[in-house]
A and B are shown apart, each in its own frame.
Chain A
Amino acid sequence: MNKSAYHMRDANGEIIEAHTLALMVDNESGVLARVIGLFSGRGYNIESLTVAEVDHEGRRSRITVVTTGTAIVIEQIKAQLGRLVPVHEVHDLTVEGPAVQRELALFKVVGSGDARIEALRLAEIFRANVVDSTLESFVFEMTGTAEKIDAFADLMRPLGLREIARTGVAALSRGV
């Protein structure tokens, strides 16, 4: 997904970077629409988006956005997000030091015979779990970086990959 973004350039030859932003926001009605509307209204990209309440008492949600743009555009995105009233914090995990990024994905693979055996063997190598199984199909569950999920999907495709569901990236900075 974003593995090649660092090598891309825009029409003016500026390097396009992928950044993972973590926002702490009030869990109030419309907050997600406000964040998404800012991206669409100002022509920014959303590569991936996850959101869920993380502090029920304080009614705070965490939004993780993977976005792409030139360095100037990324700075502008952060500044625009920062001035939204329900946004408390904006962290750029790509520049603030090492961070872990994980995504969960489910893969439905349909097949029989050698393809089915090969799918199961590859799933073990990738440490994917079988969470549903019939005589003709598996549903694999895998957690990992977006790149790992892309790689597994590429391998499953000739083996009968029927559907994928991905959660989008969740990310935290490393250390304290």
Chain B
Amino acid sequence: MRMSGAKMVVQALKDQGVEVVFGYPGGAVLPIYDELFQQNDIRHILVRHEQGAVHMAEGYARSTGKPGVVLVTSGPGATNAVTGLTDALLDSIPLVVLSGQVPTFLIGTDGFQEADTVGITRPCTKHNWLVKDTEKLAATIHEGFHVATKGRPGPVLIDIPKDIQFAEGTYVAPDAIRVPHYQPRTAPDMDAVAQLVQMIETAERPVFYTGGGVINSGPEASRLLREIADAANIPVTSTLMGLGAYPASGKGWLGMLGMHGLYEANMAMHGCDLMVSIGARFDDRVTGRLADFSPNSKKVHIDIDPSSINKIIHVDLGIVGDVGKTLAEVLRVWTERGRKVKTEALASWNRQVAEWKAVRCLTYKPSSSTIKPQYALERLEALTKDMDRYITTEVGQHQMWAAQFLGFEDPNRWMTSGGLGTMGYGLPASIGVQIAHPDALVINVAGEASWLMNMQEMGTAMQFRAPVKQFILNNERLGMVRQWQELIHGERYSHSWSESLPDFVKLAEAFGCKGIQCKDPADLDDAIMEMIRYDGPVIFDCLVEKHENCFPMIPSGKAHNEMLLGEAETQGVIETHGAALV
């Protein structure tokens, strides 16, 4: 079928099953916007800034398992998308970003709104393409979806010059393109699976250390994880990205691990004799001091990306494969061999875990006069946990408290910027989630400083009637920066407070939505319920204790068993070499 390149873009998106595009028009994508105008199958969400578009697409993708799609113009449109692309690359979120480009005959001339988009985005995409021939446009878009979603997911970018959008070419459907050579291995090596089963059968202190790869693999992977962990009586911890793969109410749940992870999770990692890493990547926020990371364990690593295995930690057994497919084989082989475990040793190990849990590491000093941020999240959890709920966050203390105090029963319910730590992620991500799940309760747990970074997107929430709830824990500080300055930089609080903050209630009114301010713990429950019941977006300004620190904390350069549990333990904890780490 002959058609213009612009029409081809829209047709290719339809054939890929795309329902929503997040974007912002501009000169170099006008032909594509013209085609969008003349159809009704694909919904376009007009953002207020291209970074917002990419984070919305991330929220959409993370909460649905489908790729998120973004459309931006050339030059500044594309460069504004760079932070979102990097965020999606580090958190393995499938995105297809289409960018306009100046016409091919102007490329390289410093044309108006020209940027070397494929050059700029090469290190922050899984792959990218500059399409110089309309005949290749449709196949390139289809290949883009293939690359974004197959293997370890990630963002791709397709740069489309304006003359290519106007020119005519032959459209090819997704099933008519040449099979892409990119076909990552997904089935595990069966010898390795057998070895893992044998290790599970003989382990006395095993731990499952799970990550975002379980979520990316799909709901079946989470189901298999639960079945194996519960049947074998193996405790489960998770990275920030993996929350919800194993339910917070599950009997083996240890909570999140790492720098602000739970005491029981980190102690279990330190003391285990078998660590099975499932779709996690031994990030520095997880491992602490490498030399003392889980010193007495055999380590197994299941990952779809061969480059993740042995990158940071040398493992005894690496299994390249899709988490779901691998766990299915592990369960099958383990069951065939009679589902053996060391029952007594595991009972003893779980008793040890129970002792660690009894430390109650999340205990904080309550207050009847000010709202403690932990209290705010405890109440939010109590009032919303049984609802059809999705949580996004910004980045900082509030993010860690949310990971500690909110419980996730299912995958795809928790959207946060893990690898890149992008302040400004949560508000647009919450809109993306809400667009995908119009009837669900979508809450962005935010800090006021992060939230301000992309607050313009409240306009998007209003325009598209996305009733997102912005739950801002307002301490008038860059809380995590302030915490580090207190602990590491001699309490010199260099530029870590927020002055001239807006009146969030008036700001909400200016956007046409609802603003709620709460500062008294006694009023908090009613205020949260008011937020939930309001039929529309809400900006909730929760004034919290200004100097609260986030614990537990593994200081930089320390090991898992050197966690700080509270204020009393913080004096001189980080040595010079640790201070150099981030």
The answer to the question of B514 belonging to the interface, with a C-beta cut-off of 8 Å to chain A, is no
Q: Which of B146-171 contact A (CB under 8 A)?
A: 147, 151-152
Docked complex: A72-116 residues within 8 A CB-CB of B: 72, 75-76, 79-80, 82-86, 88
A residues near B307, Cβ cutoff 8 Å: 76, 79-80, 82-83
Q: Is the CB of B122 within 8 A of A33?
A: yes
| Contact status A85-B126, CB under 8 Å | yes
Whether B310 is near chain A, meaning CB under 8 Å from some CB there, is yes
Whether the pair A83, B305 counts as a contact (CB closer than 8 A) is yes
Name B122's contact: one of A30, A75, A79, A83 (CB within 8 Å).
A30
Chain B interface residue count, Cβ-Cβ cutoff 8 angstroms: 22
* Bound Cα distance A118, B311 (Å): 52
In residues 111-131 of chain A, which contact B (Cβ within 8 Å)?
none
Q: Is B130 an interface residue (CB 8 A)?
A: yes
Q: Within A2-37, which residues are at the interface with B (CB < 8 Å)?
A: 26, 29-30, 33-34, 37
The answer to whether the Cβ of B127 comes within 8 Å of any Cβ in the partner chain is yes
CB nearest to B320 among chain A residues: A79
Given A37-B122, A37-B123, A82-B306, A88–B311 Cβ distance below 8 Å? no
B405, chain A: closest CB distance, angstroms: 36
Residue of B nearest to A34 (CB): B122
Bound-state CA distance A88–B151 (Å) is: 15
Counting CB contacts under 8 A, is A41 at the interface? yes
Decide yes or no whether B182 CB sits under 8 A from chain A.
yes
How far apart are the CA atoms of A85 and B154 in the complex, in Å? 12
Number of A-B contacts (CB under 8 A): 41
Q: For residues 299 through 340 of chain B, which have their beta carbon under 8 Å from a beta carbon of chain A?
A: 305-307, 309-311, 314
- Find the B residue at minimum CB distance from A29: B130
A76-B307, A79-B306, A80-B307 in contact; A88/B122 too (CB < 8 A)?
A: no
Nearest CB in chain A to that of B118: its residue: A30
Closest A residue, CB atoms, query B146? A85
Hey, which chain B residues are within 8 Å of A80, CB to CB? 307
A41 touches B123 (CB 8 A): yes
Residue count of chain A within 8 Å CB distance of chain B: 18
Contacts of A86 in B (CB 8 A): 127
* Chain B, 75-129, CB within 8 A of any chain A CB: 118-119, 122-123, 126-128
A96 to B: closest C-beta gap in Å = 17
Within the assembled complex, what's the spacing in Å between the Cα atoms of A37 and B314? 25
B181 adjacent to chain A (CB < 8 Å): yes
Q: Which residues of B sit under 8 angstroms from A34, Cβ to Cβ?
A: 122
Q: Which residues of B contact A41 (CB under 8 A)?
A: 123
Q: State the Cβ distance, B307 to closest chain A Cβ, in Å.
A: 4
Assembly CA distance A30 to B306 (angstroms)? 24
Q: Which residues of A contact B147 (CB under 8 A)?
A: 85
User: Chain A residues with Cβ under 8 A from B151's Cβ?
Assistant: 83
Chain B minimum-CB-distance residue to A75: B310
Provide the bound-state CA to CA distance between A72 and B309, in Å. 11
| Cβ B310 vs Cβ A76 within 8 A | yes
Closest to A26 in B: B181
Given contacts A76-B310, A79-B309, 18 further A-B contacts (CB under 8 A): A26-B181, A29-B132, A30-B122, A34-B122, A37-B122, A41-B123, A72-B310, A76-B307, A76-B311, A79-B306, A80-B307, A82-B306, A82-B307, A83-B184, A83-B305, A85-B126, A85-B127, A85-B147
Q: Which residues of B contact A (CB under 8 A)?
A: 118-119, 122-123, 126-128, 130, 132, 147, 151-152, 181-182, 184, 305-307, 309-311, 314
Residues on A facing B (Cβ under 8 Å)? 26, 29-30, 33-34, 37, 41, 72, 75-76, 79-80, 82-86, 88
Closest 7 interchain pairs by CB?
A79-B307, A85-B127, A79-B306, A80-B307, A85-B182, A41-B123, A37-B123
21 contacts between A and B (CB under 8 A): A26-B181, A29-B130, A30-B118, A30-B119, A30-B122, A30-B128, A30-B130, A33-B122, A72-B314, A76-B307, A76-B310, A76-B311, A79-B306, A79-B307, A82-B306, A82-B307, A83-B151, A83-B305, A85-B126, A85-B127, A85-B182
